[in-house]
A and B are shown apart, each in its own frame.
Chain A
Amino acid sequence: MSPGMHALFEGTRRVVAYAVLAAVTFVVCFPLVWAVSTSLKPKTEIFAYPPTLIPETVTFENYRTLLYGRATYFQGGAAAPSSAAPSAPSDYFVDWFINSVIVSLGATLITIVVSTLAAYSLTRFQFWGQRLVPYFSLIGYMVPSIIFVFPMFLVMVDLDLTDTLLSLVFGYVCITLPFCMWLMWAFFRGIPLEIEEAALVDGASRLQVFYQIVLPVAFPGIIAAAIFSLIVSWNDYLFGRVFMNSLENMPLTVGVMHFFEGTHVDWGLMMASSVLMTVPMAILFMALQRHLVAGFGAGAVKG
């Protein structure tokens, strides 16, 4: 092939590649795009036939309802929705959101601290039975949570923690601990011992070495583990469903599903809830991308 023809062939190949990629992207993103579109439409347009991709009228009333509750409750200066009034997802959405935030952050914090300490212990210290711990924790990871969620619930009953956010925190800690520990363990193993020995020679205590030398170097690993933990905690449904039963204590996933089972489905509200549930994850996801590349970077990803 002449250079000219070769370029043409390359060019067509490229176009085809982009076309397929665009199609795949479309399939992957369409559900969310459509959710956003629906959430911005007024009730009348949602059921319009033919459906429109870009809303003819953009309205934020769905979001406003979720975040601020029904207008009627606030007009007369009423303080809080009365318990006699029928509950709508809108009443509790903000509660649910905050619950999820608290639980996710709390669980992540605990997981990071516990797994980092444990991982460091594995790398730098020796004592009997130490090696058993990570492999045992792997059991927890391999066993699907449906199996132990009910016994765990019973543990919460014994600890009098049912229907509290704390129970969720512990639940999420459980399912994220093993992975985070293995992650941090891998990270710590990659840190040369010499750095710490130099610090010890310089007079630092073991604890000081940990805080001042090791942790800063392992920071990318901590970020990666934190983001993973946040995503898992935020997305969970099962634990929330089993542990919580009062409306105001539910996390976001459970709460929204709970109201879906109601008779009349307000699709606009549902899609708006979907969007708001996903946005934090999208943000975290983009952060994770960057850190994954930075933290585990070299060699693997090209182009």
Chain B
Amino acid sequence: MNVRLEGISKSFGSNQVLKDIDLVFPDRRFVTLLGPSGCGKTTLLRMIAGLEQASSGSIYFGERRVNDLAPGSRNIAMVFQNYALYPNMDVERNIGYGLKVRGMLRAEVKERVGPVAKVLEILHLLARKPRALSGGQRQRVALGRAMVRKPDIFLMDEPLSNLDAKLRVTMRSELKRFHMDLETTSVYVTHDQLEAMTMSDLIAVMNEGVVQQFGTPEAVYNTPANLFVAGFIGSPPMNFARGLVERNDGPRLAIGSHRLLLPDAYAEALRLFDDGSELVLGIRPQDVTLAAPGTANTISGRVWMVELLGSEKLVEVEVGPKLRMTAEVRADTQVAIDDPVALRLDSARLHLFEPGSGRAIARS
């Protein structure tokens, strides 16, 4: 079942939290709504669930418009941030609640719950109450509740944010497998870009009620559509530096006292810009290497801080007044604070953005 959002807008009073969203989630894909808090991702998810009403626009499951359907009639399942397990019911009744409410008989419910509990390895917990379960176990019960209903759409609202770091990593893969076993379209909400990158088929990056970019993890990582996406995705975050265009002997970008030669792929696009117009350069720390001071087409500076991450080192270099750039290098690289260094930027991995709109400038 694919999900189609057409022209979805939502306002709470005078506060518009979603602005004209158009998205299509293909059948059986794992789609993530990614963004900082307040960007509207949870609201959007709740609208797909039917827990909120859109101010305008339509939501389609397949060919069917579902705006006016109650959540219980949409054949969806949802896992909430705090799992929302019914505290006064034991695990078996929790999982079977949706079935019971639809009038299924006790015996039949039991038949359906059993296999589900087995798959999730919680058979031994069926008689327990939620308060006697660990975080991971609670999540499995929440998943069981979803699984037993055989939903068309599976919604998840930041289900991992309450788990400790280690458990989060394990559960990530479990959730992805769960999605595959369920064979449904899944919509996942998170603010953690790593989760989005590792789990999703498609990511909708959102900010301030607008979809900034909708594409595969590779697409949003390698070709971010604007400054926001570029800065939000990737860890450590992308380096940004403002510079002025210089067309002759170029094209070049003048960043402070450095004059960086830009790759030919940008020559075409830069023709639209006058000399002296401001652009923002973006380059990921992974694409920055250290070179000897004085090497051609580098940005020189002084090492400000060195952080050892284990297999990598992060070297933060002060390249101008109030401008520092970070390079991610191998751990065995010899470098110390206050060393003069030069940063070489991989020109194939370099990004340019217009400062006003934040839009990325396309390579040709």
Contacts and interface: CB of A to CB of B under 8 A. Distances in A.
Are A and B in contact, CB atoms below 8 Å, in the complex?
A: yes
A2 interface: yes
B262 interface: no
A3 interface: yes
Interface string A121-159: 000000000000000000000000000000000000000
Contacts, number: 12
Interface in A1-56: 1-3, 5-6
Interface in B42-79: 53-56, 67-68
Interface residues of B, number: 6
A299 B290 CA distance: 53
Interface residues of A, number: 5
Nearest to A7: B53
Contacts of A3: 53-56, 67
B326 to A, nearest CB: 40
B51 to A, nearest CB: 12
A207 B169 CA distance: 55
A3 to B, nearest CB: 5
A1 B55 CA distance: 12
A3 B56 CA distance: 8
A3 B68 CA distance: 8
Contacts of A2: 67-68
A3 B9 CA distance: 12
Nearest to B54: A3
A5 B67 CA distance: 11
Contacts of B67: 1-3
A12 to B, nearest CB: 16
Contacts of B54: 3
Contacts of A1: 53, 67-68
A181 to B, nearest CB: 34
A9 to B, nearest CB: 10
Interface string B169-199: 0000000000000000000000000000000
B20 to A, nearest CB: 15
A3 B55 CA distance: 6
A215 to B, nearest CB: 40
A6 B50 CA distance: 12
B48 to A, nearest CB: 15
A6 B67 CA distance: 11
Interface of A: 1-3, 5-6
12 contacts: A1-B53, A1-B67, A1-B68, A2-B67, A2-B68, A3-B53, A3-B54, A3-B55, A3-B56, A3-B67, A5-B68, A6-B53
